[in-house]
């Protein structure tokens, strides 16, 4: 563990009911880095996020945040889930949803005051959500709701922002806007970002590092260090090929041409991610 590490996993092993999810993970995430967390379904991406949030404890090993053991409810960490589903008739305004980011440790809604409302408004402005701030959440698009969840996560001025597959229910245009928004926030506020996704390609222009999970194991480094046939072959435990086409990266099970990334399906076969 170094003084520059935002997150440290030290020989972290995670198993549920005798089934191993993560195997002896050992890595550091640098302060201020934008890290894409990539891997197939079942690789342990969400488990990784839950460990950092302190929602679960490892079977063995330790997780540290800024040099201290992780604990639940740490306000240094902001969390953005996949999506927020709301009925169109739910009387919850966009600004009310954002305000819940200040009320996570309280029962019920807080009484309004000027400082609180100004803080919420500033964050709505920051994520570009001002024009629909007073609209019912249930009437908003997926991209609009995702901006609100990001604003909610940022209200406590966290030093780490965790996003668990925020692109999963968005179209390509909305997804691109969310990536650019998070990248701008990370740059301007020096926030460490861990952005979970099935496909690394939308993140190629913004991420500093990739954390690639497969078979319960992880490799962390730059794209050029990690996305190599020999590295991913060892990680998956089977021959892997990496193709670079028109600025995009495609990862395949060698010989069968089975895509190992979620959205890259240019060959027949069952996708593994």
- In the 3-class helix/strand/coil scheme, how is 62-84 assigned residue by residue? EEEECCEECCCCCCCEEEECCCC
Domain membership of residue 239 (yes or no) is no
Domain membership of residue 9 (yes or no) is yes
Which residues are CB-neighbours of 140 under 8 A, at least 6 positions away? Answer: 94, 132, 148
Q: What is the pLDDT of residue 21?
A: 94
Q: Please give the model's pTM, rounded to 2 decimal places.
A: 0.87
Q: What is the pLDDT of residue 223?
A: 95
Domain membership of residue 33 (yes or no) is yes
The rounded average pLDDT for each run of 10 residues, N- to C-terminus, in the chain (273 residues) is 79 92 95 94 92 95 94 86 77 90 54 81 95 93 94 93 92 94 94 94 94 94 95 92 89 67 38 36
Do residues 148 and 98 make contact, with C-beta atoms less than 8 angstroms apart? yes
Region of 237 on the Ramachandran plot (φ > 0 left; ψ -120 to 50 alpha; else beta): left
C-alpha 35/C-alpha 154 separation (Å) is 18
Domain membership of residue 180 (yes or no) is yes
C-alpha 99/C-alpha 120 separation (Å) is 6
Q: What is the pLDDT of residue 108?
A: 42
Domain membership of residue 38 (yes or no) is yes
Residue 197: enclosing H or E segment and its boundaries? strand 192-197
Domain membership of residue 103 (yes or no) is yes
C-alpha 271/C-alpha 261 separation (Å) is 8
Q: What is the pLDDT of residue 60?
A: 96
Query: What CATH number should be reported for the domain holding residue 144?
Result: 3.40.50.300
Q: What is the pLDDT of residue 258?
A: 52
Structural domain total, the chain: 1
Domain membership of residue 203 (yes or no) is yes
C-alpha 8/C-alpha 69 separation (Å) is 9
Q: What is the pLDDT of residue 2?
A: 44
Q: What is the pLDDT of residue 106?
A: 42
Domain membership of residue 159 (yes or no) is yes
Q: What is the pLDDT of residue 40?
A: 87
Residue span of the structural domain in which 71 resides: 5-222
């Amino acid at each position: 563990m170094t003084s520059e590490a935002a997150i440290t996993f030290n020989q972290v092993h995670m198993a549920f009911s005798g089934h191993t999810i993560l195997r002896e993970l050992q890595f550091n995430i640098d302060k201020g880095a934008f890290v894409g967390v990539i891997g197939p379904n079942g690789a342990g991406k969400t488990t990784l996020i839950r460990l950092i949030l302190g929602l679960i404890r490892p079977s063995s090993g330790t997780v540290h945040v800024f040099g201290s053991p992780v604990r639940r409810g740490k306000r240094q960490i902001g969390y953005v889930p996949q999506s927020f589903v709301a009925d169109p008739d739910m009387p919850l305004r966009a600004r009310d949803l954002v305000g819940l980011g200040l009320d996570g440790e309280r029962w019920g809604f807080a009484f309004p005051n000027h400082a609180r409302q100004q803080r919420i408004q500033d964050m709505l402005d920051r994520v570009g959500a001002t024009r629909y701030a007073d609209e019912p959440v249930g009437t908003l698009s997926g991209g609009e709701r995702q901006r609100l969840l990001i604003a909610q996560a940022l209200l406590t001025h966290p030093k780490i922002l965790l996003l668990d597959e925020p692109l999963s229910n968005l179209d390509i245009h909305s997804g691109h806007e969310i990536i650019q928004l998070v990248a701008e926030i990370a740059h301007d506020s020096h926030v460490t970002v861990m952005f979970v996704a099935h496909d690394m390609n939308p993140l190629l222009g913004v991420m500093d590092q990739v954390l690639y999970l497969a078979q319960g194991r992880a490799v962390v480094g730059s794209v050029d260090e990690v996305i190599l046939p020999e590295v991913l072959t060892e990680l998956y435990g089977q021959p892997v090929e990496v193709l670079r086409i028109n600025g995009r990266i495609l990862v395949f099970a060698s010989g069968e041409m089975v895509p190992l990334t979620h959205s890259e399906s240019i060959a027949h076969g069952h996708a593994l991610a």
